[in-house]
Structure 1
């Protein structure tokens, strides 16, 4: 129990990745102070092993300055995962960009105020790494030195990527100016069993594929397991030498055919529509290679995609979401 006696905060705790971070922290003996936007969506957190003894919930709002103070007070580390995830937005500035950027700064400012906080782990996204005008090509290597280009994101109306890129950029500037020990995690498309009672966007991709529909109109995917992503966040806290950014993405690319093969076990007559006029708007979505050396240095061993897909479907069936 390497977390015994340690108090940490998780923002946006009822979300997909955050719920798993809370679960693993409790398993490791940590005391967790978790913030949620809506206290009605917390039953799955309260049901976790160890929650009764070591989990406290706090209501907080990304746009409200100081609203994270109570939760962060007395914590030695903060996992900031709270940020909106939307594929489309009527008003990208209000729905995505402002909560992502202002919310991140709001949390970081609170961390600087509280003298106990030693390290902050921010959940960013691969979307803050790969969205730029010059695709890497099939042999290009994506690594932690790369950042998405905000003007390209804007031009292509990739609002989620823009929100993540701007929030991460502001976080790094703030951390540097305030000598903060900041670590940023950049996960890819995350699947795996869900703890929360509702569908989130990345798992909805799998739910739609079981109906033969492809939300992203993509011929191939990189799918990374939520349990690997959550564990990487915690290792980034526990390993003193952890630093900078960590890309957490699937080591292998899965084609629609590969995915269909696994899903056929559950849905024997499944047939996923293959969109011939597929346009990845210059994103070159998955033909690039990803350097995973850095995240592997945290001791992360990746769950095979077939296992993640199976576990995703089983968990969706269990929760009556399919």
Structure 2
């Protein structure tokens, strides 16, 4: 097993991507120190429970504690993005840190408080703690394709996006793209901090993530699939890119296990149309009719070419979109979420 004897931290561990990172890490033999936001007490699960969560909080972490290897090699810790030093116990003694925790909202009443501050301050809080822990050799940050999709030049079918492309904060502000702004500012802050503090940082930039759900709640990206099932096209688009959560999680771990890994890694899938998505979902929902025709718009960012050769060099083979969609629906049905 690749991770035998190694200890790593995963922040925001009860989230969609993070839960899969934890699952794969445990399967590969790692010991995982995972942070969650709202437990009433710490829970240590090295073969026995020392403390118990309240029922509501426990419900959010049951899926983690049920993973293969969790009883022997998973510890859960309370940590808050805005509480300085709150990640110290979780990161202490770790070989590496996966920082996934960050708010995901497209609409925000107070963008600064709801998105920007927790994304930026939370990232620096985690990275600052990593610089104090001598055992930490690498930090893998979960960023987003969003940090590429609002650059200071026009996008379109002839534009190739790669790891050198960055969203421009002034463009984000002008277009009121608050989520994109929060992810862009957080990633920019992370690169500046890493350079100033000689921190080995690798950044993952996934697109819209779908695939089987481990957690008991619906996250933003899977909710897009549920909207399709309900006949709604969330973004009112004709073209979409949907990348599998299992590929995204594995790419994170490969970024740790590949010594030469560095910089940013785009993790995104080929374009699919609303009609192609509908055709696949009709297997499960024969009467499905997704609103489209004249109402749909084509966003230039969706029709760009995207270079994913760098992440493929880590050994990632992308799951076909139709497989990801089918597995998403099967997972949602199994959990009675649709």
Common fold: TM-score over 0.5: yes
In structure 2, C-alpha distance between the alignment counterparts of 1:195 and 1:135, rounded to whole Å: 38
Where do 4+ consecutive residues of structure 1 move more than 3 Å? 277-280
Q: Are residue 191 (structure 1) and residue 210 (structure 2) matched?
A: yes
1:157-196 correspondence runs (5 A): 157-196=176-215
Contact kept, 8 Å, 2:169 with 2:185, in 1: the verdict is: yes
1:60-79 correspondence runs (5 A): 60-79=79-98
Specify the alignment match of 1:284 in structure 2: 300
Specify the alignment match of 1:103 in structure 2: 122
Specify the alignment match of 2:35 in structure 1: 35
Task: Report the TM-score, using the length of structure 1 for normalisation.
Answer: 0.97
Which of 285-294 and 296-305 deviates more?
A: 285-294
Q: Using the TM superposition, give the Cα deviation of residue 276 of structure 1 relative to its aligned residue in structure 2, in angstroms.
A: 2.4
Contact kept, 8 Å, 2:151 with 2:165, in 1: the verdict is: no
In structure 1, C-alpha distance between the alignment counterparts of 2:226 and 2:182, rounded to whole Å: 25
In structure 2, C-alpha distance between the alignment counterparts of 1:225 and 1:309, rounded to whole Å: 9
Q: Using the TM superposition, give the Cα deviation of residue 285 of structure 1 relative to its aligned residue in structure 2, in angstroms.
A: 2.8
Query: Mind listing any 5+ residue stretches in structure 2 that lack a counterpart?
Result: 40-56
Q: Using the TM superposition, give the Cα deviation of residue 132 of structure 1 relative to its aligned residue in structure 2, in angstroms.
A: 2.6
> C-alpha offsets along residues 9-48 of structure 1, whole Å, 9 cap, x if unaligned?
0000000000000000000000000000023110100000
Specify the alignment match of 2:312 in structure 1: 296
Counterpart secondary structure, 2:33: strand
Specify the alignment match of 1:215 in structure 2: 234
Q: In structure 2, do the counterparts of structure 1 residues 278 and 150 end up closer, same or farther at CA, with 3 Å as the change threshold?
A: farther
In structure 2, C-alpha distance between the alignment counterparts of 1:211 and 1:277, rounded to whole Å: 17
> C-alpha offsets along residues 175-206 of structure 1, whole Å, 9 cap, x if unaligned?
00011100000000000000000100000000
Q: Are residue 45 (structure 1) and residue 64 (structure 2) matched?
A: yes
Q: Using the TM superposition, give the Cα deviation of residue 137 of structure 1 relative to its aligned residue in structure 2, in angstroms.
A: 1.4
In structure 2, C-alpha distance between the alignment counterparts of 1:274 and 1:133, rounded to whole Å: 30
Counterpart secondary structure, 1:162: helix
Q: Using the TM superposition, give the Cα deviation of residue 135 of structure 1 relative to its aligned residue in structure 2, in angstroms.
A: 2.7
Contact kept, 8 Å, 1:182 with 1:244, in 2: the verdict is: yes
Which of 146-155 and 124-133 deviates more?
A: 124-133
Specify the alignment match of 1:259 in structure 2: 277
Specify the alignment match of 2:321 in structure 1: 305
In structure 1, C-alpha distance between the alignment counterparts of 2:255 and 2:28, rounded to whole Å: 14
Counterpart secondary structure, 1:65: coil
In structure 2, C-alpha distance between the alignment counterparts of 1:94 and 1:137, rounded to whole Å: 33
Q: Using the TM superposition, give the Cα deviation of residue 277 of structure 1 relative to its aligned residue in structure 2, in angstroms.
A: 4.1
Which of 270-279 and 121-130 deviates more?
A: 270-279
Task: Report the TM-score, using the length of structure 2 for normalisation.
Answer: 0.93
In structure 2, C-alpha distance between the alignment counterparts of 1:153 and 1:276, rounded to whole Å: 27
Specify the alignment match of 2:46 in structure 1: none
Calculate the aligned-residue CA RMSD, in Å.
1.0
In structure 1, C-alpha distance between the alignment counterparts of 2:286 and 2:292, rounded to whole Å: 18
1:137-152 correspondence runs (5 A): 137-152=156-171
Specify the alignment match of 1:119 in structure 2: 138
Contact kept, 8 Å, 1:246 with 1:294, in 2: the verdict is: yes
Q: Using the TM superposition, give the Cα deviation of residue 86 of structure 1 relative to its aligned residue in structure 2, in angstroms.
A: 0.6
In structure 2, C-alpha distance between the alignment counterparts of 1:233 and 1:318, rounded to whole Å: 27
Q: Using the TM superposition, give the Cα deviation of residue 134 of structure 1 relative to its aligned residue in structure 2, in angstroms.
A: 2.3
Counterpart secondary structure, 1:223: strand
The total of aligned residue pairs comes to 319
In structure 1, C-alpha distance between the alignment counterparts of 2:236 and 2:173, rounded to whole Å: 20
Contact kept, 8 Å, 1:136 with 1:142, in 2: the verdict is: no
